[in-house]
Structure formats: structure tokens, C-alpha cells
Amino acid sequence: MGNFLQVLIDGLLNGLLYALVAAGLSLIWGVMDVINFAHGEFLMVAMYLSYWLGFLLDIDPFISWIAGGIFLFLLGAVTYRLIIKNSLGKAAMAPLLATFGLSMLLKNFCMNVFTPNFRLLSGNWLEGRTIAFGGAIVPLPQLVTALFAFAVLGVLYWMLKKTRLGWAIQATAMDKEAAELMGIDTERIYLLVFGMGGACVGIAGSLMTSYLAVYPEVGGLFSLIAFVVVALGGFGSIPGALLAALLIGLVESFSGFYIAAVVKYVAVFAVYLGVILLRPRGLFGW
Amino acid sequence: MPPMLEVKNISCSYDEARVITDLSLEIRAGEIVAILGANGAGKSTTMRAIAGLLHPEKGSVLFEGEDITNLPASQVIRRGLCYIPEGRRLFSRLTVRENLELGAYTESSREAIDQRLEEVFAMFPILKARSAQRAETMSGGEQQMCAIARGLMSEPRLLMLDEVSLGLMPSLVEKVFETVVEIRRKGVTILIVEQMVQEALEIADRGYVLQTGKLVTSGTARELLDSDEIRKAYMGM
């Protein structure tokens, strides 16, 4: 029973983190029909940012997530301006290949500058701290990161559903031309959405630095999981991404513990294939 | 007094194909003007060019004396010129209320928006009852009302309506035209594109008739209704 609860908690905590990583991808896809292949590398950039802020300036990840969010918002906005904007309306593959190129650039840049070594930030506020919960041990860095992720998703969802800006974003996603007739500057909405997608993954990356090592390839697995989450939850749906991410987190932790650690990603992708075969638009797709 | 809207010798193309050639028209404040013509005559293209959704290759569009030819649509609406496109184009998964709020997107004062909401709810009581419902769950007629109300939320001085009667049953068509007259009574100038030529001319002051992107004739509604040529070509009489 103790094991079961432990595995359940691990799965949920990971799932919440995956949800925040995937939310930005889902938002950008939902509004602009653009797949950002550099999403994992955005995460990696935020991790390096928080790592160096922690290592050089002694700023804890639970503070530097603000810097991560802002920096990645700007990186997202600049990416939109310089790369996405010019590739929209061209061949369907153009934005995809362009962001793929960006991901290679970012990865290899970090490889060169920071070496391929793993770097784990030490001396964090919550490092090694745990709380006991019904026989399970809950590591605090993971718990706080997961709660942050949930809160950021809540704010994002509230913004989309309840504010004028959120309605304008949804309107732009549904009918761009009609949105322009309302006076909505859809160019600015796109810029903002790309920035917000960056900010989500930036906050996630910064927080993760409190317990995970950063290296140039770290984005690969996370972006793969994010793609699975987005497709599974239904493109553009934030609640869908949350539930799909929790499902993925649980499948990962249960299969890793009860079957074998090496098969956990086999199980994750098997579930993904199963759902997509039965329901191609995902669990909550539009 | 100069006309409210002046379209001067515009020509427009889609993918190299000329859709409008050297078209001019004008609308004076307080009028209802109808643009008539068969499918493909260039009626909607004319509206889109005025609204800023596409920019003419030649010619110019002046609204209240100012050149708006190359303004994007999101700026044109700020000048007080609102275009309600063909097919309603509601934001289907947003509620009626949210659609209406977006209609007043250019207005930032909460009180002004609430006041306009009250005005359109008074005009279309059904929308008040439906305000929390998704736009896509309403009937075609209700959706058309919602599209008109959303346009009015921007408090336009010139309202352009594109095929508002399309797909509505006859009793609703009549109601929509009555609504248009009521909107004019409130001081809004109106430009309509219609395929229901007779009904449109009954409420319009003047009309322009287009054929393959060119102006073939224009005149007062009376003159057009009495013209044998128009009756034969567009009213099947």
C-alpha cells in the first residue's frame, strides 16, 4: 500500500509538470496551427538560465522562475517575429522546419558553450527536504514545482476563459478574419500567444532546475512527452492537456514500478497509440 | 456636405483574376444604400475592400473625408465603419455574451460596453435569454440577430451588411429587414449587399447594380424598382 501511494504521488507530481510543459505547445498549436519544434529547447534554455542564476548569483529556482518566464516570453515573441511570421502562409512544412532549425541551433549553441555535461544545481532551499504522507515520502522540490505548475495552468485557463484578452485569443483561433473585423490586431495576438507559450515552458524549466540536471539534450524527452500530451489531450485544450499529462505521468510511474523501469516509456507511447487509434482528435479535441 | 463614404475608381483582384474594375460609389450620411447583382458580380469583394480585408490595386476609399484605402480591417472598425460579413461568422464556441463583448473590443470603458449591451438586448430580447449559450447552439435566425447585434456593439456610424437574409425563412427575412430600418432610424448609415433584390430596394433609398465587377446602373430605389431591365434580370418578373 505504501508503494502504491508513493507511485501514485510520483506520477501525479510528474504529470503536473508535464502539463505545464505541454500547455505552451498546446496553446500555440490551438491558436496558430503551428507546431513549435523548438519547444524542448526553450525548456532547456530556461533550465540553463535558472542554473546559472543559481550557480553564479545564488538565486533559488523558486525565485528565478520569474526570470525564466519573462526571458522565455521574449524568446517566444522574438521567435515569432523573426521566424514564424515569415513562414506562415507558405508551405505547410515551413514553420515546422524553421522551428526544427531553431531547435538545432539552440541545442548546439549550448553544447558548444556549456559542454554536454550534466549540471545539477545544489544548495537549493528545498533540496533534500521531504514530507511524509500516509507512508509515502513526498520530495518538496517536486511538490512545490507541481503546485506552481497547477497554479500557472489555472491562471492561463482563467485568462483564456474569463478575460477580454482570452476571448480575443479564442476568437483569433476560431476565425482570424472575423476577429480582425472586431478590431482585434491578430498579429499582436499571435506574438502574445507565442510569448505566453514560451513563458509557460520557461516557468516549468526554471522550476525543474530545483531537482533535475540540465544538459543540452534535456529538451528531447520532455518535448516528446509534451507532443504526446498535446495530441492525447486534444490540440488547443488546456484542461485536455492537464488530464492527458496526469495520465501520462501515472502510466509512466506505475509501469516503471510494477513492470520495469526500462519499459515506462514503452507504456507511455503504447497508451498514446491506443487512444489516438480509437479517438484521433484526442480526449478533449475541438 | 461631402458623402460619408466615397469609393473612387477601385479595382481589385484575387490571384491575378480581376474581380472589380474601376468601381465608384458613394453613400451619404443617413442613407440606406443597396448593392445588387448576381452571384460573382463582385458585391462582397466591394464590401471587403471597403472594410480593409483586402486592399484595392487602384483607386481609393474615403470615409468621412479620410483615406482608409490601405488601413487594415482592425483599424477601419475604429473609424466607425463596421462590416458584418456573409455567413454570420460568429465565434461558434464562445457564448452569445462573449461574442457581443468582442463586438465592442475597440471600446475600453466598462460602462459604455454595459450600456451598449443593454441597448442590443432591448433590440433583440432573445439574445438576452441566450446570452450564456454557445453561439453555435442557436438557430440560424438567432445567429443572424447575434451577428447584427455584435456589429452594433462597436457603435458604428456606417454599418455594412452582407447577405443578411441568406438561409433564413421568409418570416425571418422580413424581420431582419425591419431591423435594418430600425437601425437606420437610430442614426446609423447602412450599406447592404442583397440577393433579395425587391425586398432590399423596398427599404433602400438608392441602389447600385453590379455585373462582373463593373457598375452597370445606379439610381434611387424607385427608379431601379421601376426599371424593366432590373426587374427582368434580377427579380424574375
Judge if B162 and B231 occupy the same domain: yes
Residue of B nearest to A182 (CA): B103
pLDDT > 60? residue A286:
no
Judge if B230 and B114 occupy the same domain: no
Identify the weakest region by mean pLDDT among A80-89, A142-151, A179-188, B72-81. A80-89
Phi–psi pair at B56, nearest 5 degrees: -65, 150
Residue A285 lies in a domain: no
- The reported pLDDT for the residue numbered B125 is 95
**Residue B72 touches chain A, beta carbons under 8 Å:** yes
pLDDT > 90? residue A191:
yes
Give mean pLDDT, residues B56-71: 96
**Residue A82 touches chain B, beta carbons under 8 Å:** no
Judge if B161 and B235 occupy the same domain: yes
- Cross-chain Cβ contact A164/B94 below 8 Å: no
Proportion of chain A above pLDDT 70, given as a percent: 99
- The reported pLDDT for the residue numbered B237 is 55
We report the CATH number of the domain holding residue A91 as 1.10.3470
- The reported pLDDT for the residue numbered B195 is 84
Counting the structural domains of chain B, the total is 2
pLDDT > 90? residue A92:
no
Confidence of residue A119 (pLDDT cuts 50, 70, 90): very high
Judge if B161 and B150 occupy the same domain: no
Give mean pLDDT, residues B11-38: 92
- The reported pLDDT for the residue numbered A284 is 76
Pick the closest to residue A248 from A217, A263, A226, A221 (CA basis).
A226
CA B144 to chain centre: 12
ipTM of this predicted structure: 0.94
Q: What is the pTM of this model?
A: 0.93
Q: CB under 8 Å, gap of 24 or more: what pairs does A163-172 form?
A: A164/B101, A164/B102, A164/B105, A165/A192, A167/B91, A167/B94, A167/B98, A167/B101, A167/B102, A168/B102, A168/B105, A169/A31, A169/A193, A170/B91, A170/B93, A170/B94, A171/B91, A171/B94, A171/B102, A172/A31
Residue A283 lies in a domain: no
B213 vs chain A: nearest CA distance in angstroms? 23
What average pLDDT does the structure give for chain A?
A: 94
Residue A284 lies in a domain: no
Q: Which residues of B touch A176 (CB under 8 A)?
A: none
* CB A13 within 8 Å of CB A249: yes
Supply the range of the domain harboring residue A120.
2-278
pLDDT > 60? residue B182:
yes
Residue B5 lies in a domain: no
**Residue B85 touches chain A, beta carbons under 8 Å:** yes
* CB A28 within 8 Å of CB A192: no
> How many Å apart are CA B203 and CA B32, to the nearest integer?
7
| DSSP state at residue B218 | E
Judge if B150 and B205 occupy the same domain: no
Proportion of chain B above pLDDT 70, given as a percent: 99
Higher per-residue pLDDT: B229 or A38? A38
- The reported pLDDT for the residue numbered A1 is 64
B229 vs chain A: nearest CA distance in angstroms? 36
Give me the residues paired with residue B159 across strands. Answer: B82, B190
Counting the structural domains of chain A, the total is 1
Give mean pLDDT, residues B205-219: 93
> How many Å apart are CA B127 and CA B123, to the nearest integer?
9
Confidence of residue B113 (pLDDT cuts 50, 70, 90): very high
Select the residue of A168, A170, A183 nearest B77 (Cβ to Cβ): A183
Residue B12 lies in a domain: no
Give mean pLDDT, residues A208-234: 94
Q: What would the 3-class secondary structure string for chain A be? A: CHHHHHHHHHHHHHHHHHHHHHHHHHHHHHHHCCCCCCHHHHHHHHHHHHHHHHHHHCCCHHHHHHHHHHHHHHHHHHHHHHHHHHHCCCCCCHHHHHHHHHHHHHHHHHHHHHCCCCECCCCCCCCCCEEEECCEEEEHHHHHHHHHHHHHHHHHHHHHHHCHHHHHHHHHHHCHHHHHHCCCCHHHHHHHHHHHHHHHHHHHHHHHCCCCCECCCHHHHHHHHHHHHHHHHCCCCHHHHHHHHHHHHHHHHHHHHHCCHHHHHHHHHHHHHHHHHHCCCCCCCC
Residue B228 lies in a domain: yes
What average pLDDT does the structure give for chain B?
A: 93
Judge if B118 and B174 occupy the same domain: no
Judge if B146 and B92 occupy the same domain: yes
Proportion of chain A above pLDDT 90, given as a percent: 84
Judge if B174 and B229 occupy the same domain: yes
Judge if B172 and B235 occupy the same domain: yes
H or E, element range at B9: strand B5-14
pLDDT > 60? residue A109:
yes
Residue A137 lies in a domain: yes
Judge if B166 and B74 occupy the same domain: yes
Confidence of residue B231 (pLDDT cuts 50, 70, 90): confident
- Cross-chain Cβ contact B102/A164 below 8 Å: yes
Judge if B120 and B75 occupy the same domain: no
Q: Which residues of B touch A183 (CB under 8 A)?
A: 74-75, 77-78, 105-106, 154
Judge if B192 and B100 occupy the same domain: no
Select the residue of B85, B93, B101 nearest A174 (Cβ to Cβ): B93
| Per-residue pLDDT reduced to its tens digit, A121-175 | 998 999 989 999 888 999 999 999 999 999 999 999 999 999 999 999 999 999 9
Confidence of residue A280 (pLDDT cuts 50, 70, 90): confident
Residue B38 lies in a domain: yes
Give mean pLDDT, residues B167-171: 87
Supply the range of the domain harboring residue B139.
85-154
Higher per-residue pLDDT: B167 or A244? A244
We report the CATH number of the domain holding residue B188 as 3.40.50.300
Give mean pLDDT, residues A62-89: 95
> How many Å apart are CA A152 and CA B35, to the nearest integer?
51
Residue A251 lies in a domain: yes
* CB B69 within 8 Å of CB B6: no
Higher per-residue pLDDT: A146 or B229? A146
- Cross-chain Cβ contact B94/A180 below 8 Å: no
Give mean pLDDT, residues A81-107: 91
- Cross-chain Cβ contact B53/A182 below 8 Å: no
Residue B148 lies in a domain: yes
- The reported pLDDT for the residue numbered B236 is 61
Residue carrying C-alpha cell 468621412: B64
| Per-residue pLDDT reduced to its tens digit, A18-29 | 999 999 999 999
pLDDT > 80? residue A285:
no
- Cross-chain Cβ contact B92/A174 below 8 Å: yes
**Residue A180 touches chain B, beta carbons under 8 Å:** yes
- The reported pLDDT for the residue numbered B235 is 65
pLDDT > 70? residue A213:
yes
